[in-house]
Amino acid sequence: MCGRYNLHSSKEVRVLMSSIGMPDFVPPERFNIAPTESVPVVIEREGQRVVQDARWWLTPSWSGGPSTKYAMFNARSETLATSRAFKAPFKQQRCMIPASSFIEWQTIDGIKQPFDVKLSGSAMAFAGLWDVWHGGDEPLYSCTIVTTDAGDNFKHIHKRAPVMLQGEALDTWLNPETQAAELRPLMQSRSEHIFEIEAIDRAIGNSRNKAAPVKLNVK
């Protein structure tokens, strides 16, 4: 799963955004981003890619409005095509959510220890879905991060991991015309990613703590 992540201006984020034709994107410095907060996502409309602010907790277009009754900040890749909430966005409303790292917890000696997880030498491009709800005064854009089974190089931390896209896979995911058969291989668990995983201070568990993670000398 992915319940917190970080995004800040860096060479790696600039390289990622330049690779999809958006070299002018300068992300805000944000740490410990939590579900229901507004986040930047990349979507493709009529062949043009744009950055759209979206609430990180999907609000289906057909729903009664924003709610946290069901956990909609992550979407399991295995059920995207059948889920009432996700199947329509999966067809044509896919997005990329840029990230510098994400935070995951592991229980060690009875204590939940958070870890900051980065890709070595690269920013992260999370596969996501978006939707827009028109029941309020303004359209509400929202999003969710797609997850899959963790690869062998990560499942010691958690059994699930966000789907991370690279190269042609990112173009394929963003293209609204891509069919489901082409998308399924992109969501398989991966073991080729090289992660840098560092223990961080448990204060990050409070979602109101927006300071940069404090790294610990813990293995």
- pLDDT tens across 46-88, in order? 889 999 999 999 999 999 999 998 999 999 999 999 999 999 9
Does the domain at 4-205 match CATH 3.40.190.10? Answer given as: no
Domain range annotation of the chain: 4-205
Q: Assign residue 36 a region (left: φ > 0; alpha: ψ between -120 and 50; beta: otherwise).
A: left
What is the pTM assigned to this prediction? Answer: 0.95
- Kindly report the length of the chain: 219
Percent of the chain whose predicted confidence (pLDDT) is above 90: 83
The number of CA neighbours under 13 Å toward the Cβ of 125 is 27
pLDDT digit string, tens, across residues 108-144? 889 999 999 999 999 999 999 999 999 888 999 999 9
User: What is the rounded CA–CA span in Å between residue 35 and residue 29?
Assistant: 17
Whether residue 65 contacts residue 136, with contact meaning beta carbons closer than 8 Å, is answered with yes
Tokens of residue 179, six digits: 């069919």
